[in-house]
């Protein structure tokens, strides 16, 4: 591998010694020049321990956080000042490869050649370089493109608790976007399981999209310092493709909560006083330093989709609140919808996007999105009445609203390419036009005579008619007041 010049001990004759080691926190004394903040130090046998300077304690002592395990480190050991910060490899050669936070290839492929190295600590693009044009970024997923469209060069968040489908949705977006766009995808795994990284690499290779991807991981068993810096390393790679290659970049981060969590661990280890709910007092600044580098400029765009774990499904948690403030679109995954089998389990009433305005998406799309939300909101209000009194107590107009809403909910489900092996359903990529046409026709009661199940897990809406024929034509149900008493209780369970 090409050696980073700033990480070669010979690059600097400044040598200190370890004063104390407390877990990942290492204090070092220097007799000569004191290293600057963010300087990378090397210590231990073969300079195996990497330490990033985070504080200058006095004229001779610095305190740093180890980015690698500190086993074997002892007081009095020499520490080499590398003369520069942590650096990441950039260049065309990094495509199709998988890296750790130090830029070491971890995919068992040949060593890297012909790459440059750049600092992971870079300022965000200047305001004058940023683009002010708003464009929609299509994903091919109905529930997102219709109700919460993403912005090119914007930041979208995937919010949800454990096990509701964040990683599956991210993987599907990689499959759809890399396969149909000429840009580059960078997957940044912060605190990921090694199993997930290996599976993703294998799936992307099988899908044929690996030549346009870069993966960088900091596994959950690595020290907090490594998990805290891997996001910055991924952005340095993304900025190279945007600014030097003039290509659009799709940056997928799984999981941004782990970045905040790693920062909280680093802050606690450094002895800072915790803030609200135990988070670090500098959380807002640290998150902003990362998020502001994701931008649409005159040379290209970095579009970010970030999975955000919500602790205990509490959206008032400071980690979720701070992340919300940076996003142009929020896609909220609902455990209730997942339990009902409505996948992707996107909550249409909690999800939002600033792109849904007539000036950006157009009058028709805006009006349809509002009509869909209104219908689903009315259905949500009527659920309590239905549960207590039954469907027959609703007015005819309300019954029509319920029928439309339930068909819309099922139409907004979609079979994914990445789950074909589990569901035996072929993946579907649905254009925005097809998705809008389907919603419009459902709202116009065109499919009121079809069973709701015909609209479940399909692509374009025309597939519903064919699906209903395959499963046998069913007569329209009579109105609830004409039904036998036993059937009334099941009027909503047409599946």
Q: What angle do CA 157, 162, 165 make, to 5 degrees?
A: 60
97 Cβ contact list (under 8 Å, min separation 6): 105, 107, 109, 112, 214, 215
Q: What angle do CA 184, 185, 188 make, to 5 degrees?
A: 140
Catalytic residue among 166, 227, 247, 399: 166
Sheet holding 329-332, edge to edge: 98-99, 213-219, 184-192, 249-254, 302-309, 155-160, 329-332, 352-353
Distance in angstroms (rounded) separating the CA atoms of residues 58 and 198: 44
CB atoms within 10 A of CB 340: 12
By C-alpha distance, which of 38, 31, 39 is closest to 15?
Answer: 31
Q: What is the enclosing helix (H) or strand (E) of 212?
A: none
Catalytic residue among 138, 192, 239, 409: 192
The torsion angle over the Cα atoms of residues 322, 323, 327 and 330, rounded to 10 degrees, is -120
Q: What ranges make up the beta strands (E) of 244-291?
A: 249-254
By C-alpha distance, which of 18, 291, 332, 392 is closest to 147?
Answer: 332
- Give yes or no for a contact between 307 and 167, defined as CB atoms under 8 angstroms apart: yes
- Please say if 142 is a catalytic residue: no
C-alpha 91, offset from chain centre: 24
- Give yes or no for a contact between 409 and 334, defined as CB atoms under 8 angstroms apart: no
By C-alpha distance, which of 215, 180, 188, 187 is closest to 427?
Answer: 180
Q: Helix or strand or coil: residue 395?
A: coil
455 Cβ contact list (under 8 Å, min separation 6): 407, 410, 411, 442, 447, 461, 464
Q: Beta 49-56 vs 39-43: how paired, if at all?
A: antiparallel
Catalytic residue among 17, 122, 135, 193: 193
How large is the C-alpha radius of gyration of the chain? 26
Distance in angstroms (rounded) separating the CA atoms of residues 20 and 63: 9
Sign of CA dihedral 451, 452, 453, 455: positive
- Please say if 399 is a catalytic residue: no
- Please say if 192 is a catalytic residue: yes
Q: What is the enclosing helix (H) or strand (E) of 386?
A: helix 363-389
- Give yes or no for a contact between 102 and 39, defined as CB atoms under 8 angstroms apart: no
Distance in angstroms (rounded) separating the CA atoms of residues 197 and 179: 20
Q: What are the catalytic residues?
A: 166, 192-193
């Amino acid at each position: 591998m090409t050696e980073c010049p700033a990480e070669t001990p010979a690059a600097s004759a400044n040598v200190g010694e370890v004063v104390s080691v407390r877990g990942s926190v290492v204090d070092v004394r220097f007799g000569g020049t004191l290293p600057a903040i963010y300087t990378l130090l090397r210590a231990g046998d073969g300079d195996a321990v990497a330490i990033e300077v985070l504080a200058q304690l006095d004229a001779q002592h610095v305190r740093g956080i180890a980015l690698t395990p500190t086993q074997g480190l002892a007081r009095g050991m020499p520490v080499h000042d590398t003369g520069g910060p942590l650096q990441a490899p950039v260049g065309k050669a990094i495509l199709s490869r998988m890296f750790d936070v130090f830029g070491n290839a971890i995919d068992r492929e040949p060593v890297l050649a012909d790459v440059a190295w750049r600092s992971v600590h870079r300022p965000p693009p200047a305001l004058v370089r940023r683009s002010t044009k708003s464009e929609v970024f299509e994903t091919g997923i109905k529930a997102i493109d219709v109700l919460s469209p993403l912005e090119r060069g914007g930041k979208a968040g995937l919010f949800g608790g454990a096990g509701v489908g964040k990683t599956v949705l991210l993987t599907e977006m990689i499959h759809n976007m890399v396969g149909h766009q000429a840009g580059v995808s960078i997957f940044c795994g912060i605190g990921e399981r090694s199993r997930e990284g290996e599976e993703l690499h294998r799936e992307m290779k099988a899908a044929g999209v690996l030549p346009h991807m870069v993966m960088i991981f900091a596994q959950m068993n690595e020290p907090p310092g490594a998990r805290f810096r891997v996001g910055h390393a991924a952005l340095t790679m993304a900025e190279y493709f945007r600014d030097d290659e003039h290509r659009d970049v799709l940056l997928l981060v799984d999981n941004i909560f782990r970045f905040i969590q790693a920062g909280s661990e680093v802050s606690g280890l450094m002895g800072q006083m915790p803030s609200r709910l135990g988070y670090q007092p500098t959380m807002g600044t640290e998150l902003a330093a990362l998020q502001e580098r994701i931008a649409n400029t005159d040379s290209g765009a970095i579009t970010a989709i970030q999975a955000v774990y919500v602790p205990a499904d509490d959206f008032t948690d400071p980690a979720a609140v701070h992340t919300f403030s940076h996003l142009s679109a929020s896609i909220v995954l609902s455990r209730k919808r997942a339990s009902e089998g409505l996948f992707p389990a996107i909550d249409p009433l909690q999800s939002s996007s600033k792109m849904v305005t007539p000036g950006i998406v157009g009058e028709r799309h805006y009006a349809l999105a509002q009509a869909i939300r209104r219908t689903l909101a009315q259905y949500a209000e009527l659920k309590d009445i239905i549960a207590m009194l039954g469907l027959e107590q609703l007015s005819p107009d309300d019954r029509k609203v319920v029928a439309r809403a339930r068909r819309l909910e099922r139409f907004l489900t979609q079979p994914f390419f990445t789950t074909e092996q589990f569901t035996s359903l072929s993946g579907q990529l649905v254009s925005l036009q097809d998705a809008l046409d389907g919603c419009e026709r459902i709202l116009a009661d065109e499919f009121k005579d079809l069973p709701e199940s015909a609209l479940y897990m399909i692509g374009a809406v025309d597939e519903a008619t064919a699906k209903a024929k395959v499963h046998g034509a069913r007569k329209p149900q009579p109105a609830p007041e004409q039904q036998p008493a036993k059937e009334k209780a099941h009027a909503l369970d047409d599946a």
